[in-house]
Amino acid sequence: MAAAEKLAHLPGDAPIQFFDLKAQQASIRGALETRWTTILDHGRYIGGPEVDECEQKLCEFTGAADAVVVGSGTQALVMPLIALGYGHGDAVFIPGFTYNATANAVLLAGATPVLVDIDPATFNMDAADLERKIQMVKGNRNLRARAIMPVDLYGLPADYAALESVADAHGLRIVADAAQAFGGRQGNQWIGTLAEISATSFYPTKTLGGYGDGGAIMVRDKEVGDLLRSIRWHGTGDNRKESIRVGINGRCDSIQCAVVSEKLGIFEEERQRRIQAASIYNERLTGKVDGQVVGANEESAYGLYTVRVPDRDGVRASLQEKGVPTAIYYDTPIHQMPAFEQFAPPGGLPECERASREVLSLPMHPYLSEDQIHRVCDALLATLQR
């Protein structure tokens, strides 16, 4: 059955969930219970065969040369920075409109986050402002420009072609924060292969989520994968005892790997349903409500479907009254959070600031019915016309 037909067949009058992990669980529960039994029987709760299986499946889906599963999306960002040897005085360029983990990861690695404004159409890092921020760093004797950490916000891949040309011109590396974007693609390249190193998160509500914390690093170079496996186990070599470099406990346990492998089995079906849900939103809302612009040659993973609205608090309250749950990602840009204020660039980041005032995310998951999506749109359009 095509995705559109499936959406149409789901019960329409059910309460609308912002995310729906229960409906998803129902479709894989039996298989998961079999997997729990297998893990309880073999007893390798860390480093079981599920780890290799999951890594292999991630490579098969994305086309990455190697994938290394880790304990969280945050670890998946910190570990590549450790692998590349960044630390004191090394500048890593990140967008100023993202989850706080992006900034924390740079600081935990000992490097300095340099905040870049976003393109208002895509909410992703603006390559022109990146160039300005690189020039700013070049004028600072205490910093060396090293790497770019673009974020694929809401599931939409960043503008890798533009970012790569800036990176090449200045000798910078790219470590992608694809925490929200597993399943997105540009042309025929999947998230996980769009940068030399890409990090994703298995936080339960992500497009590919586990039942706990987890994440993965996907790489183009197998040697980097081996280095990350050493860093994942305190920088040890084969004996797992002697540290030959600095590392951390970055492991992902067997149970999370089993969940992620099982979810990869239904991932393409779910991805199609998200695309179908987004296309109904687009049909109803384009031209009436500003949203995230997805290019002709790319697909968002649709981790979130986000629009801009005036009087956001009023709109949210009205939608809530009509049974439509919404969420805000994010109401504070990075440079206005107390922990990161010291990294605020002169003049601020106007588009990050505007986005943080205007964004509103609508329900988005693979188990929304067509009717429910229309109810969301009816409620939103009625509220905006008041």
Ligand X SMILES: Cc1ncc(COP(=O)(O)O)c(C=O)c1O
Chain contacts with ligand X (rule: CB under 6 A): 72-74, 98-99, 101-102, 151, 177, 179-180, 201, 203, 213, 215
Task: Write down the residue that tokens 């999947």 correspond to.
Answer: 190
Residue 119 Cβ vs ligand X, minimum distance, rounded to whole Å: 16
Q: Which is nearer to ligand X, 215 or 366 (CB)?
A: 215
Residue 153 Cβ vs ligand X, minimum distance, rounded to whole Å: 7
Residue 200 Cβ vs ligand X, minimum distance, rounded to whole Å: 8
Q: Which is nearer to ligand X, 117 or 370 (CB)?
A: 117
- Contact call for residues 375 and 281 (beta carbons, < 8 A): no
Convert 42-67 to b/e letters by CB count within 10 Å (16 or more is b): eeeeeebebbebbbebbbebbebebb
> Of 225, 223, 227, 243, which is closest to residue 235 (Cα–Cα)?
243
Q: Which is nearer to ligand X, 213 or 270 (CB)?
A: 213
Q: Which is nearer to ligand X, 186 or 383 (CB)?
A: 186
Q: Give how far the C-alpha of residue 61 lies from the chain's centroid of Cα atoms, to the nearest Å.
A: 16
Sign of the CA dihedral with 370 first, then 373, 377, and 379 last: positive
Question: In the sheet that 305-308 helps form, which strands lie side by side, from edge to edge?
Answer: 290-291, 305-308, 359-362
Ranked by CB distance to ligand X, the top (closest) residue is: 73
Q: Which is nearer to ligand X, 201 or 292 (CB)?
A: 201
Residue 103 Cβ vs ligand X, minimum distance, rounded to whole Å: 9
Residue 205 Cβ vs ligand X, minimum distance, rounded to whole Å: 8
Residue 184 Cβ vs ligand X, minimum distance, rounded to whole Å: 13
Q: Which is nearer to ligand X, 251 or 375 (CB)?
A: 251
CB-CB neighbours of 313 under 10 Å: 10
For residue 151, the SS3 value is strand
